[in-house]
Structure 1
């Protein structure tokens, strides 16, 4: 019963609504509320700030949720480990990533699922770097792909994957871009279509433009990668994207892609997991795939690494 009560608290912290939390736990709202009241009585502390509706967790409730997530993650890891001894690797791997690394996630998940057909994968691919770290710490994901720039705390294990490099996509008849490369200054002079300023990928581009003293004025902004490519393929706009994206979307026939230089910038991208002991079997299985998979070709234009 204690584990079930912890599940109620985690669900309530996530949903911030009693009915939705109960539905996610497949119980009635009164049953969820009664379970939490029993937990409060057992611990002799209030866990929820009550009113006519859910008003948040108390400080004690917030602390309990942190412990609850770890306890439930360890419970799941134990079940997966024991189950693997009988039937092979199974369970659900929770994978998070920054948006620009979605192609890397797919390239790791394919061999992972091929090797472990009983395992399932849940992917959240619209996280910031801070989100990846926070969700790992709160045991909401098992592994995350993010930028690796600052020294990584000892609580994490790091698997380097590739370096994110940037390319200019422009219509083949829009000016005369260099055949081999283009500068950031040249890119800023084109009619640009970029991601919205609130998005992490756009902020990274703005920082690089600022290094060369330029503040681009895009003619069109969007919060969708699919929308970005859809607009650029019309030939009316140019854009700046990570080279890795082109391995997923390709280079449309009417567009020309060249690396951006002056300055040439690259950011290390890697996989993070918690340095848990013992390491959950699903994380060990993913680590094995990572260590045998070379993703450095994502640093280059499609087919360029074969030349």
Structure 2
């Protein structure tokens, strides 16, 4: 069995198309098809459903795919170990991040590169649920997410970074209640742009209004943080966001914020698979994570 055949299988699962999978692997379509057939012959099972087109994996193929992911992830770890043995300054890391914590990423990367200067990082924005799935599949090595979304009794190790603090934010031109801390009922008439309802930080906002017995004035809902920032900076709408999701660049007029009470403050932190044989790179980065506490930074 060749490792390249496992790579072909992962590419097929990703693209669901023989030609695009072959292009991603840098081989011809006949070479990729032959490699998959050779893998099937060696294992004595049918891995993919096909005629002239790719129709998906068989049940046996799904099990082989899971095994292939683990094998190639282990191989990547071995390669990183070898690279670190020669040069401890580099390596690659894939990190998943929830939209509400995106502004934390530059600080994390700064701390990581202090101990691994040539670190290459791929950052993927995704939900907590998708992040857990990608961590299990070894597609991600770290996830920045709500820690109460980590499945109970799961094979994950966590490290809290800060307790999320929601604030009402608006351009300085928009009239807001004067007090630095306000209640949910004080916001009911303020025109808002918010995350969509499937997102955890929006669910916390909805719970705040519901517990206060008031209905908010919501004029825009989106899963794109950039659009919320644009509306805030334009002065058209206010928003309720975690402090860690506020825009860094707030324009010449800046933003005004009000803390909201009472509010839920779930912990946000980093998550990884709990592995006894983690790579030297991941162990080095995790040692940085364990020393980080950001509550002082992400408080209004």
TM-score, length-normalised on structure 2? 0.92
Label 1:190 to 1:84 Cα distance change in 2 as closer, same or farther (>3 A).
Answer: same
Instruction: Confirm or deny: 8 A CA contact 1:251 1:257 kept in the other structure.
Output: no
Q: Secondary structure at the match of 1:95?
A: strand
Q: Tell me how far apart the structure 2 counterparts of residues 159 and 99 of structure 1 sit (CA, whole Å).
A: 19
> Match for residue 155 of structure 2?
155
> Match for residue 271 of structure 2?
272
1:199 Cα shift?
4.2
Q: Secondary structure at the match of 2:289?
A: helix
Count of aligned residue pairs for this structure pair: 299
Question: Over residues 116-146 of structure 1, what are the superposed CA-to-partner deviations in whole Å (9 max), with x where a residue is unaligned?
Answer: 2333111102x11111110000111111111
Q: Tell me how far apart the structure 2 counterparts of residues 107 and 12 of structure 1 sit (CA, whole Å).
A: 36
Q: Secondary structure at the match of 1:297?
A: coil
Q: Tell me how far apart the structure 1 counterparts of residues 247 and 173 of structure 2 sit (CA, whole Å).
A: 23
Superposed, 1:98-109 pairs within 5 Å as 98-109=98-109
Matched, 1:19 2:19: yes
1:113 Cα shift?
2.2
Label 1:148 to 1:252 Cα distance change in 2 as closer, same or farther (>3 A).
Answer: farther
Label 1:223 to 1:157 Cα distance change in 2 as closer, same or farther (>3 A).
Answer: closer
Superposed, 1:14-93 pairs within 5 Å as 14-93=14-93
Q: Tell me how far apart the structure 1 counterparts of residues 108 and 163 of structure 2 sit (CA, whole Å).
A: 16
Instruction: Confirm or deny: 8 A CA contact 1:235 1:254 kept in the other structure.
Output: no
Q: Tell me how far apart the structure 2 counterparts of residues 144 and 229 of structure 1 sit (CA, whole Å).
A: 23
Deviates more, 1:67-76 or 1:12-21: 12-21
Superposed, 1:50-199 pairs within 5 Å as 50-125=50-125, 127-149=126-148, 152-172=152-172, 174-199=174-199
TM-score, length-normalised on structure 1? 0.90
Instruction: Confirm or deny: 8 A CA contact 1:92 1:120 kept in the other structure.
Output: yes
Matched, 1:285 2:284: yes
What is the root-mean-square deviation in Å for CA atoms of aligned residues? 2.1
Question: Over residues 33-80 of structure 1, what are the superposed CA-to-partner deviations in whole Å (9 max), with x where a residue is unaligned?
Answer: 110110011111111111332111111111111111111111111111
> Match for residue 230 of structure 1?
230
Question: Over residues 76-96 of structure 1, what are the superposed CA-to-partner deviations in whole Å (9 max), with x where a residue is unaligned?
Answer: 111111221122153311111
Label 1:37 to 1:176 Cα distance change in 2 as closer, same or farther (>3 A).
Answer: closer
1:233 Cα shift?
2.1
Deviates more, 1:157-166 or 1:112-121: 112-121
Q: Tell me how far apart the structure 1 counterparts of residues 236 and 269 of structure 2 sit (CA, whole Å).
A: 35
Q: Secondary structure at the match of 2:57?
A: coil
Q: Tell me how far apart the structure 1 counterparts of residues 119 and 170 of structure 2 sit (CA, whole Å).
A: 41
